[in-house]
Amino acid sequence: MLGCTGNGEVSDRPPKWRHLGGSLKFGAKSEPELTHLSDDDLVAYMVKARDTGHDDELRTATGLLVWSRHPQQLGLVRQKVRNEQDAEDITQIVMEQALKARFDGKHAGQFFSMLNVIRKRRVADYFERQRREPDSAGPLPDGSDPLTGISDGDDFAAGVDLEMVSEAVLGEFSVRDRMVIRHRVDGHPAKRVAEMVAASGVEGSDGLTSINCDTIYSRFRKRLRAVLESEKRSQG
């Protein structure tokens, strides 16, 4: 699992398992059983699963605890972020990062403190992003294709019809999202793309924001890279 540092950032440090030489017995519970536990008991179950190396049980319990707090976290994000779609996007990121974060504590209060740190950091990132308007998909390497962000030197792209695969992946996206992707490829900043797509009147364009546009573009590039890697494996 990924780790969560004190400032809410997710790291890839390996978990520090604390095996107790069999002195700590773990009794797995079903998901329905877990839903009836209090927060304190659920966290105690998570701690025991973590300390005895029961990864699957830990993930299940963590997922239940994290998603039980989705309405609360969304409400807290809405207090800061007035755009509804942006608030939902940020909350989704908070949930996903909380699911991946390594919890080193022992009590429910410590877990929720960690969750709140993640939320505050992501809201702060949002406002910083609004101020600077960077491209969330990241800068393109020198010599890379402007649509895909993939360069000729990428091994997994060798021997693959990049244009054909790109168009196929584009076809998986909605008309609105394809417009966003192509406008981003043309070099328009995310804020301008949101305005242009909204002006087109295409279905789903109401309330489109710059963060939505960058998320769509980033999702396309990640999906394309995954398809290319799969194609390369099938050829091997």
Burial of 57 (0-12, 13-18, 19+ CB in 10 A): buried
In angstroms, how far is the first alpha carbon of the chain from the final one?
Answer: 30
Beta carbons within 10 angstroms of residue 197's beta carbon: 22
pLDDT at 175: 92
Write down the pLDDT at residue 140.
39
- Amino acid 209: pLDDT: 85
User: What letter represents residue 160's amino acid?
Assistant: V
Which H or E run contains 190? helix 190-200
For residue 132, the model assigns a pLDDT of 65
The enclosing H or E element of 217 equals helix 210-235
Q: Please name the residue ranges forming H helices in 29-174.
A: 31-35, 39-51, 55-68, 70-80, 84-100, 108-132, 162-170
Where are the domains positioned within the chain? 3-132, 155-235
Helix (H, G, I), strand (E, B) or coil at 140: coil
- Alpha-carbon distance 26 to 32, whole Å? 17
Q: What pLDDT is stored for residue 41 in this prediction? A: 93
The amino acid at residue 185 is V
The pLDDT, as a whole number, for residue 48 is 92
Do residues 85 and 209 touch, judged by C-beta distance below 8 A?
yes
Which regions of the chain are under pLDDT 50? Answer: 1-2, 5-6, 13-23, 134-144, 146-147, 152, 156-157
Supply the DSSP symbol for 153.
T
Residue 182 confidence (pLDDT): 87
Q: Enter the tokens of residue 148.
A: 């895909």
What are the angstrom distances between the C-alpha of 10 and each of 14, 29, 91, 107, 137? 12, 28, 16, 20, 18
Q: What is the pLDDT of residue 133?
A: 55
What does the pLDDT read at residue 159? Answer: 54
Q: What is the pLDDT of residue 83?
A: 79
Q: Using a cut of 0.85, tell me whether the model's pTM lies above it.
A: no
Provide the pLDDT for residue 150. Answer: 52
At residue 166, the pLDDT reads 81
- Listed in sequence order, the residues at least 6 apart from 138 whose beta carbon sits closer than 8 Å to its beta carbon are 149, 218
